[in-house]
Structure 1
Amino acid sequence: MTFANLAVIALIGVMIVALLLAAMIIFGTAKPKSAGTEGADAIAVSFPTGLPPVESVTARDGTALAFRFYRGDGDIVAILVHGSVGAGATMHFLAEAIRARGGCVYAPDIRGHGASGTPGDIAYAGQLEDDLADLTAEIRRRHPGKILVLAGYSSGGGYVLRVAGGSAGHLFDRFVLISPYLGHRAPTQRPDHHGWVVPFIPRIIGLSVLERLGIHWFEGLPAIAFAPGATFGVEPSSVAGAPMTNSYRLSRNFHPGADVAGDFRRTAKPMTVIVGSADEVFYADRFAPLIQRLRPDIAVTLVPGQTHLDMIRDPRGTGAVAAVIAPDARPVPEGNSRPLAAV
């Protein structure tokens, strides 16, 4: 076989691979169930009232990053990172529980969610860490000498792990992971999401191949879809810009990193993981064996009878989390929280 023939075969092979990647990226989508179908009872909306006003800090690219502030009189300042389809308002009842113990709370809308940036997208993978550094600098300026706790719920918990094990981990004094998403291959992951969130697997595979080749042109395409009506669990008027999809680069950034075990090992500040024992999204009893094999010093707490959503909506769930975040403050009054659905 001549060199020319080999070159033709190689060219044909490259073209076939390129066509397959193009097909995966263009057509590799799916539709989630709509609100009101099976599993929708788990995300029924119950609107919070008495939300603090939206404030903002200017990010390094000039974008206004929205947050809500809950003032307390203690030494703890907590940043609460919402879930993948949430916004700062979904953390309201947990924020109130922490404030009842004397802690200050910042509940930001992560870029791509709520009133921060373009709904469902960011400019580049890693922009969320830049935003977090900008927000943290402002919080440190406002609260010099205070203990800064970064806590995240669900996908936000996975993101907090990413931060804790990364270059931005030094910005915080403690970390709390609340029912954290540790990746779809983690032993804690149940096999389905009730259909209200659907990843575009073929597109994600195609875009990840291009990313490894250094091609980032198409990373703004949607990679995950959410069921209509399942996006925030808060009144639409209280949150601007409810995304029905997240782009590849946003979903890649707002998740745990590829090396979850390494992020646990690299975490240099105290960390606690807290999960409801009745979590229907993750296997609650698998967190402790997984994490304490890697880091025996990381406490893993199960809250009896609490579901995934209860950890940010039910007084027992929010009270348990608040006690971890602000352990030395006064106890949470019974009935401080009211039901809220969020993810």
Structure 2
Amino acid sequence: MAEQGENLKLRDNTYMYFRYYPSEADIVLILIHGIAEDHKYLKPLAAYVANENLAHVYTPDLRGYGDYAETKGDVDYIGQHDDDLMEFMDYIQDKHQHSKVILGGHSAGGGTTLRFTTHAYSQHISGYLLLAPFVHFMAPIMKKGDSENKESPNQAHVGRIMKLMMLNRLHMRKRNHQEVLTVHDPANENPAKLKGLSYRLFMSRLPDSYKRSLKRLTKPALVLIGDQDEEFEHSAYKPLFSKYAQSAKVTVLPHLTHDSLLTSSHTFQAIKEWIRQF
């Protein structure tokens, strides 16, 4: 059966678009996209996992992303993606009864995945696949002088983020719609592309407390990062996970960047060996 696109109707009568890559396996992998892209760029990895019969793969567009988003770059409240993904997992469990579920993500998709380690729905998750995960902007994975990174198309407004964090601690949320991440991508001329993220969407992509989330990462977890990653400091991952999540397997892959990690045969092989342990 070929891959197919579908829509899932959510509780508020909006729709979550996703791609489904069928397999003959008894494992399901939900693979979540990064901070500024929708599901499309995950296709090579998703197709590989499904074609190798390692797992059925689903690549959803989170709320605020994709061609069918009602409001690009925004959600209604912090944590709305969690609620959407819970409904999505209910749908998957109904469709694939008795199958194990692996939750995974690339970059901010990894951050979104880590949110679920402290969530009640973690009981339905058998493992975690973290690909160059954006653990948190306050975690030691961030490159020094990151705001001056000329290679990144994303500009984070750090001062505004910190100010809004303080206001939210005081339960003042009226400004959570403000843009805190601007996306500059000259190569993408699509007028419908994502141009920026609100504070409430940005914070929905990261754990509330990365240390707490990592400590709760007790189920099998594979962390892959390239040693040429432009976004994050690859050498910080092993010490970080060793300190808070000893059960996670962290592998640094040579000669791979933030995005080439997703299309490398070395990545594919590492994922194949890991999934076959389930």
Using the size of structure 2 for normalisation, the TM-score is: 0.90
Query: Take 2:199 and 2:272, find their aligned partners in 1: how far apart are those partners?
Result: 33
User: Is 1:313 the equivalent of 2:263?
Assistant: yes
Query: Take 1:106 and 1:216, find their aligned partners in 2: how far apart are those partners?
Result: 33
Aligned partners of 1:279 and 1:308 also within 8 Å: yes
Query: Take 1:186 and 1:214, find their aligned partners in 2: how far apart are those partners?
Result: 24
| Aligned residue identity for 2:20 | F
> Deviation of residue 141 (structure 1)?
0.6
Aligned partners of 2:103 and 2:113 also within 8 Å: yes
The answer to which of 184-193 and 147-156 deviates more is 184-193
In structure 2, the partner of 1:131 is 84
Aligned partners of 2:217 and 2:245 also within 8 Å: no
> Deviation of residue 135 (structure 1)?
0.5
How is 1:46-85 mapped onto 2 (pairs within 5 angstroms)? 52-85=3-36
Report the secondary structure of 1:225's partner residue: strand
Aligned partners of 2:100 and 2:126 also within 8 Å: yes
Query: Take 2:91 and 2:118, find their aligned partners in 1: how far apart are those partners?
Result: 22
Given candidates 220, 241, 250, the residue that maps to 1:270 is: 220
> Deviation of residue 312 (structure 1)?
1.2
In structure 1, the partner of 2:129 is 176
Would the alpha carbon gap of residues 280 and 143 (structure 1) be closer, same or farther in structure 2, given more than 3 Å must change? same
User: Is 1:220 the equivalent of 2:177?
Assistant: yes
| Aligned residue identity for 1:79 | I
How is 1:132-147 mapped onto 2 (pairs within 5 angstroms)? 132-147=85-100
Given candidates 250, 266, 269, the residue that maps to 1:300 is: 250
> Deviation of residue 254 (structure 1)?
1.0
In structure 2, the partner of 1:105 is 57
Aligned partners of 1:63 and 1:116 also within 8 Å: no
> Deviation of residue 195 (structure 1)?
4.4
Query: Take 1:59 and 1:140, find their aligned partners in 2: how far apart are those partners?
Result: 16
Report the secondary structure of 1:216's partner residue: coil
Would the alpha carbon gap of residues 206 and 189 (structure 1) be closer, same or farther in structure 2, given more than 3 Å must change? closer
For structure 2, which runs of at least 5 residues remain unmatched after alignment?
Answer: none
Given candidates 228, 231, 250, the residue that maps to 2:201 is: 250
Given candidates 95, 103, 111, the residue that maps to 1:150 is: 103
Query: Take 2:33 and 2:197, find their aligned partners in 1: how far apart are those partners?
Result: 15
Percent identity, aligned pairs only? 28
| Aligned residue identity for 2:11 | R
User: Is 1:160 the equivalent of 2:113?
Assistant: yes
Would the alpha carbon gap of residues 170 and 204 (structure 1) be closer, same or farther in structure 2, given more than 3 Å must change? same
Higher relative contact order (CA 8 A, sep 6+): 1
> Deviation of residue 230 (structure 1)?
6.1
Aligned partners of 2:104 and 2:110 also within 8 Å: yes
For structure 1, which runs of at least 5 residues remain unmatched after alignment?
Answer: 1-50, 330-343
Report the secondary structure of 1:105's partner residue: strand
| Aligned residue identity for 1:107 | T
Would the alpha carbon gap of residues 323 and 95 (structure 1) be closer, same or farther in structure 2, given more than 3 Å must change? farther
The answer to which of 92-101 and 315-324 deviates more is 315-324
Query: Take 2:269 and 2:247, find their aligned partners in 1: how far apart are those partners?
Result: 23
* Residues 223-264 of structure 1 deviation map (CA, whole Å, 9 limit, x = unaligned): 110113467xxx95xxx942100001000111233x212111
Query: Take 1:158 and 1:284, find their aligned partners in 2: how far apart are those partners?
Result: 16
RMSD: 2.2
> Deviation of residue 322 (structure 1)?
4.2
> Deviation of residue 85 (structure 1)?
0.7
Would the alpha carbon gap of residues 124 and 142 (structure 1) be closer, same or farther in structure 2, given more than 3 Å must change? same
Query: Take 2:18 and 2:222, find their aligned partners in 1: how far apart are those partners?
Result: 24
Query: Take 2:115 and 2:25, find their aligned partners in 1: how far apart are those partners?
Result: 28
User: Is 1:291 the equivalent of 2:241?
Assistant: yes
| Aligned residue identity for 1:187 | P
> Deviation of residue 319 (structure 1)?
3.8
Using the size of structure 1 for normalisation, the TM-score is: 0.74
Aligned partners of 1:178 and 1:321 also within 8 Å: no
Report the secondary structure of 2:223's partner residue: strand
> Deviation of residue 168 (structure 1)?
2.9
Would the alpha carbon gap of residues 111 and 243 (structure 1) be closer, same or farther in structure 2, given more than 3 Å must change? same
Report the secondary structure of 1:292's partner residue: helix
In structure 2, the partner of 1:39 is none
Aligned partners of 1:58 and 1:64 also within 8 Å: yes
In structure 1, the partner of 2:276 is 327
Would the alpha carbon gap of residues 195 and 216 (structure 1) be closer, same or farther in structure 2, given more than 3 Å must change? same
In structure 2, the partner of 1:121 is 74
* Residues 155-192 of structure 1 deviation map (CA, whole Å, 9 limit, x = unaligned): 11111112123333223111111111122232221132
